[in-house]
A and B are shown apart, each in its own frame.
Chain A
Amino acid sequence: MPNNVSTFTRGGVHPDDKKALSNAKAIVKLPLPSQVIVSLSQHLGAPAKALKAKGDSVVRGEKIGTAASFISAEVHSPVTGTIKEIKKVTLANSLCCDAYVIDVDKDAPDPVWEKHDWKSESKEDLLSTIKDLGIVGMGGATFPAHVKYSIPKGKKCEYLIANGVECEPYLTSDHRTMLERAEGALEGLMVIAKVTEAEHILVGVEMNKMDAIEHLEKVISEKGYPIEVQPLKMKYPQGDEKQLIKACTDREVPSGKLPLDVGCVIANIGTCYAVYEAAVFHKPLMERIVCVTGESITEPKNILAPIGTPIGELIDFCGGFINDPYKTISGGPMMGFAFHDLTTPMQKGTSGILCIPKFEESETTACISCGKCVNACPIGLMPTMLYKNINAGRYSVAMDKYSLMDCKECGSCAFVCPAHLPLVHFMKTGKKLGRKKK
């Protein structure tokens, strides 16, 4: 047992982690699908502007969409082939956007990715490489990486923290990355450290991944990196930026502020690997590891797949369904989005596909004011008060007095609610309707 285990202090819950379904499965590469659907909204912020038209042929790694505003990102073709059409698709998170449907030329040779020496490049050059190659946060929020790593004047990055927490139950893609791609991910982390001029570099990993902690420590000592592995006590939602910063540095990011305001930059471990490929091989972000798991999947796997692969193909690659799935979810069970269409494409932020069978759910009753949600909220909100006000249509009370906008929809409140109220659903609805009213 390491002796410097830490965690965040307020709230949090302990869901059953269920990671044993796939945490021993080595990463396998998906054979090229015959068609991919690459949306122009792969990231947080404005959708990218299309650069290609119907009928154009594209080469793997070619830029097909360009950043439309400051917070936006480039999109590259993950395959070589022909653009069949540009159509509206609905993503797993119910967002509707334009997407390229690309017929894949399976026989086309993979372009050659030459090795570059990033150490001789300036941090401005590295930053523009990261921007140009469409790197976004791969933990799920998909915030454009170059925006995150640009340190404005007057701020400095005291702590650069790689996020290897993966606190969502079931998911194991980050876990496998740390076991099988540690060298690359850590080198990528060093690239980010150079770009952000970080003073301290940490990797936060939860204790249910002891093998990853040991492996990372071994690689770090072999390479002589100035990186420290911070073991964390298991608790959800530790993978959230604010909770991870609290756990690693004991600093609290105030409401409405960014990690950089307390001198921290967070990078998901998968993003670190993408940065490594970008800096060393100038390879854009066009494939990722996605964990396909759940009790409805015949053989759960961690798959390396091109962005845009229809989710149904990933499931077929895992042997299909073993029973009737009750929910198909993009992401983990706590924050993931349930979707119904298996042709929905995977995105840069799709860390997992979870398919679970029907389970017995208790009925919803009235709120009994037990206060469990208040004790579970990592932000210190009062979900029960938010729920009551939103339910009564008092959006401004919920927003102004009970800080609705600080809710990150982590689901801890709904997880513990004995009345089984869909609290997160109320928060999401309240935010939307409240914004409209303002």
Chain B
Amino acid sequence: MSVTVSSSPHVHMANDSTKQIMRDVAIALTPAALWGVYQFGFRALVVLLVSIVSSVLTEYLLDRKDGKKSLKENSIGDGSALVTGLLLGMNMSSQVPFVIAILANIFAIVVVKWIFGGLGSNWMNPALGGRVFVFFSFTAAMSRYVAPRSLASLMPDTIGGATPLAFVKTSIAGGVSGLSASGVMDAAGYPVTHFAQSVSTALHISPYAVDAFFGNIGGCIGEGSAFLLLLVAIYLLHKKIISWHTPVAYLGSFAILTWVFAGLRGGLGLFQGEILTQLFDGGLFLGALFMATDMVTSPITHKGQILFGIGCGFFTFLFRYFGSLAESVSLSIIMMNMVVPTIDRYIVPVKFGTVKKAKKERA
């Protein structure tokens, strides 16, 4: 009889591994990615595939270089490179030159992840790092968007492929004032779908918010449909892969700051900010639900995650309204990634027994 002697515990929670988590995240991202392919056409699919292949290939070659010769023990097996590639692809315009997509993935895997020690040791989300790298290196190429399928026929040539937020930002910079974001878009004749038009009259909200929520807007491949992202996020919440703390703190703090201060930008004053269009636009849902919740680069404790989320919300608000970028979700999350080790150092759980002790001492 030969038995194994090892430390307790001798049982483990069923179906729970790093691989499983990565697989679930990849599955969860798929609907929004497919929606992007539907809206932006075949080229979007190619961008996604190029991104995934370059990411996984880079990871494979690096690990092979580190001595993991066989496919089985190679770290591509943990699935994290697949998720990075998919996320990066979803964070790019369908019009992006392929070489830029490849560069972004190489940067993400080599510089952001591998140099710092591979999975678990990177301080910045690889996908975001890769995206920000190519965004600042090739800003013009990264900002070239096309109108989504659902708006293509309605889109006036004067607007072209500008995303709603970029359009509003340029208009306000160009002197338009006294209007809300929707007001600016409305005045310029930014198109909306018939569906959004009817929903907006029924619910008394901006039709631009409705289009943004369901993904009838221009932008990156995977960020369009807040609705689909929200749906799959519920699946991940149920599987306990993400917790509500980061997204709720992120979206909540951003919404409050927007409501209070965003009106200042258009000359409307305090408490005039338009929340919904801002919330559903510019990749905020993709960022808040899938990038800010990246386990490796977010705080360990729930309390820390709330603080982290609030920080993300603050920076997104700051950059979006008073910075030079129109969307700024990636940059905000990276800013907060930097302080995660500090958050984890100082925000620690209250140890069992300490609360009661403190009370006793006070008495």
B3, B297, B301, B355: most-surrounded residue (chain A CB, <10 A): B3
Minimum distance in angstroms from A432 CB to a CB of chain B: 12
Q: For the complex, is A231 an interface residue (Cβ under 8 Å from B)?
A: no
Q: For the complex, is B351 an interface residue (Cβ under 8 Å from A)?
A: yes
Q: A380-B350, A428-B7 are in contact. Are A13 and B13 (CB under 8 A)?
A: yes
Q: For the complex, is A329 an interface residue (Cβ under 8 Å from B)?
A: yes
Q: A366-B120, A368-B120, A369-B295 are in contact. Are A255 and B13 (CB under 8 A)?
A: no
Q: Which residues of B sit under 8 angstroms from A107, Cβ to Cβ?
A: none
Q: Which residues of A sit under 8 angstroms from B300, Cβ to Cβ?
A: 369-371, 374, 382, 384-385
Stretch in A80-88, A216-224, A409-417 with 4+ CB within 8 Å of B: A409-417
User: Is there contact, CB below 8 Å, between B5 and A415?
Assistant: no
User: Is there contact, CB below 8 Å, between A380 and B16?
Assistant: no
Bound CA–CA A333/B118 (angstroms): 33
User: Is there contact, CB below 8 Å, between B12 and A361?
Assistant: yes
Within 8 A of B (CB), among A13-29: 13, 15-16
User: Is there contact, CB below 8 Å, between A254 and B353?
Assistant: yes
Q: A380-B349, A411-B9 are in contact. Are A255 and B1 (CB under 8 A)?
A: no
Per-residue interface assignment for chain B, residues 189 to 232, with 1 indicating a CB less than 8 Å from any chain A CB and 0 otherwise: 00000000000000000000000000000000000000000000
Minimum distance in angstroms from A167 CB to a CB of chain B: 12
Q: Which residues of B sit under 8 angstroms from A418, Cβ to Cβ?
A: 16-18, 20-21
24 contacts between A and B (CB under 8 A): A13-B13, A242-B352, A253-B353, A255-B353, A325-B3, A327-B10, A333-B8, A333-B11, A334-B9, A338-B4, A365-B119, A366-B118, A369-B295, A370-B21, A371-B295, A381-B349, A382-B300, A382-B348, A385-B344, A409-B8, A411-B8, A418-B16, A422-B6, A428-B7
User: Is there contact, CB below 8 Å, between A333 and B119?
Assistant: no
The closest CB in chain B to the CB of A379 belongs to B352
Bound CA–CA A50/B254 (angstroms): 73
User: Is there contact, CB below 8 Å, between B11 and A424?
Assistant: no
Tell me which of B8, B302, B355 contacts A252 (CB under 8 A). Answer: B355
A-B contact count (CB 8 A): 164
Q: For the complex, is A169 an interface residue (Cβ under 8 Å from B)?
A: yes
Q: For the complex, is A118 an interface residue (Cβ under 8 Å from B)?
A: no
Tell me which of A339, A367, A409, A417 contacts B120 (CB under 8 A). Answer: A367
Q: For the complex, is B121 an interface residue (Cβ under 8 Å from A)?
A: yes
User: Is there contact, CB below 8 Å, between B18 and A419?
Assistant: yes
**Dominant SS among interface residues on chain A:** loop
The closest CB in chain A to the CB of B15 belongs to A362
* Top 8 A-B residue pairs of the complex, sorted by shortest distance between their CB atoms: A411-B9, A425-B7, A366-B120, A254-B353, A362-B17, A371-B300, A370-B295, A365-B18
Q: For the complex, is B70 an interface residue (Cβ under 8 Å from A)?
A: no
Q: Which residues of B sit under 8 angstroms from A257, Cβ to Cβ?
A: 353
Bound CA–CA A411/B6 (angstroms): 13
User: Is there contact, CB below 8 Å, between B356 and A251?
Assistant: yes
Residues of chain B whose beta carbon lies under 8 Å from any beta carbon of chain A: 1, 3-14, 16-21, 78, 118-121, 240, 295-302, 344, 348-357
Contact residue range for chain A? 35 or more
Bound CA–CA A382/B352 (angstroms): 12
Bound CA–CA A382/B10 (angstroms): 21
Q: For the complex, is A214 an interface residue (Cβ under 8 Å from B)?
A: no
Tell me which of B1, B348, B356 contacts A254 (CB under 8 A). Answer: B356
Q: Which residues of B sit under 8 angstroms from A366, Cβ to Cβ?
A: 118-121
Tell me which of B12, B296, B356 contacts A415 (CB under 8 A). Answer: B12
Q: Which residues of A sit under 8 angstroms from B348, Cβ to Cβ?
A: 382
**Dominant SS among interface residues on chain B:** loop
Q: For the complex, is A436 an interface residue (Cβ under 8 Å from B)?
A: no
Minimum distance in angstroms from B109 CB to a CB of chain A: 15
Q: For the complex, is A324 an interface residue (Cβ under 8 Å from B)?
A: yes
Bound CA–CA A421/B306 (angstroms): 27
User: Is there contact, CB below 8 Å, between A379 and B120?
Assistant: no
User: Is there contact, CB below 8 Å, between B7 and A424?
Assistant: yes
Per-residue interface assignment for chain A, residues 356 to 391, with 1 indicating a CB less than 8 Å from any chain B CB and 0 otherwise: 100001110111111110110111111011000000
User: Is there contact, CB below 8 Å, between A327 and B352?
Assistant: no
Bound CA–CA A411/B295 (angstroms): 22
User: Is there contact, CB below 8 Å, between B120 and A420?
Assistant: no
Residues of chain A whose beta carbon lies under 8 Å from any beta carbon of chain B: 10, 13, 15-16, 169, 242, 246, 251-255, 257, 262, 321, 324-329, 331, 333-340, 342, 354, 356, 361-363, 365-372, 374-375, 377-382, 384-385, 403, 406, 409, 411, 414-420, 422, 424-425, 428
Q: Which residues of B sit under 8 angstroms from A169, Cβ to Cβ?
A: 11
The closest CB in chain B to the CB of A242 belongs to B352
Q: Which residues of B sit under 8 angstroms from A371, Cβ to Cβ?
A: 295, 299-302
User: Is there contact, CB below 8 Å, between B12 and A255?
Assistant: no
Bound CA–CA A382/B299 (angstroms): 12
Minimum distance in angstroms from B360 CB to a CB of chain A: 9
Q: Which residues of B sit under 8 angstroms from A372, Cβ to Cβ?
A: 240
Q: Which residues of B sit under 8 angstroms from A424, Cβ to Cβ?
A: 7-9
Bound CA–CA A337/B17 (angstroms): 24
The closest CB in chain A to the CB of B7 belongs to A425
Q: Which residues of B sit under 8 angstroms from A417, Cβ to Cβ?
A: 12
User: Is there contact, CB below 8 Å, between B6 and A420?
Assistant: no
User: Is there contact, CB below 8 Å, between A380 and B11?
Assistant: no
User: Is there contact, CB below 8 Å, between A333 and B9?
Assistant: yes
Minimum distance in angstroms from B10 CB to a CB of chain A: 4
Bound CA–CA A12/B117 (angstroms): 31
Q: Which residues of A sit under 8 angstroms from B19, Cβ to Cβ?
A: 362, 365
Q: Which residues of B sit under 8 angstroms from A251, Cβ to Cβ?
A: 356
User: Is there contact, CB below 8 Å, between A380 and B120?
Assistant: no
Minimum distance in angstroms from A8 CB to a CB of chain B: 9
User: Is there contact, CB below 8 Å, between B352 and A252?
Assistant: yes
Q: Which residues of A sit under 8 angstroms from B11, Cβ to Cβ?
A: 15-16, 169, 333-334, 415
Q: Which residues of B sit under 8 angstroms from A428, Cβ to Cβ?
A: 7
The closest CB in chain A to the CB of B240 belongs to A372
The closest CB in chain A to the CB of B344 belongs to A385
User: Is there contact, CB below 8 Å, between B21 and A255?
Assistant: no
Q: Which residues of B sit under 8 angstroms from A378, Cβ to Cβ?
A: 352
Minimum distance in angstroms from A67 CB to a CB of chain B: 29
Bound CA–CA A262/B13 (angstroms): 34
The closest CB in chain A to the CB of B16 belongs to A418
Bound CA–CA A335/B9 (angstroms): 6
Q: Which residues of A sit under 8 angstroms from B9, Cβ to Cβ?
A: 333-335, 411, 414-415, 424
Bound CA–CA A372/B18 (angstroms): 12
Bound CA–CA A362/B7 (angstroms): 16
User: Is there contact, CB below 8 Å, between B353 and A333?
Assistant: no
The closest CB in chain A to the CB of B75 belongs to A365
User: Is there contact, CB below 8 Å, between A252 and B353?
Assistant: yes
B297, B301, B351: most-surrounded residue (chain A CB, <10 A): B351
Minimum distance in angstroms from A404 CB to a CB of chain B: 12
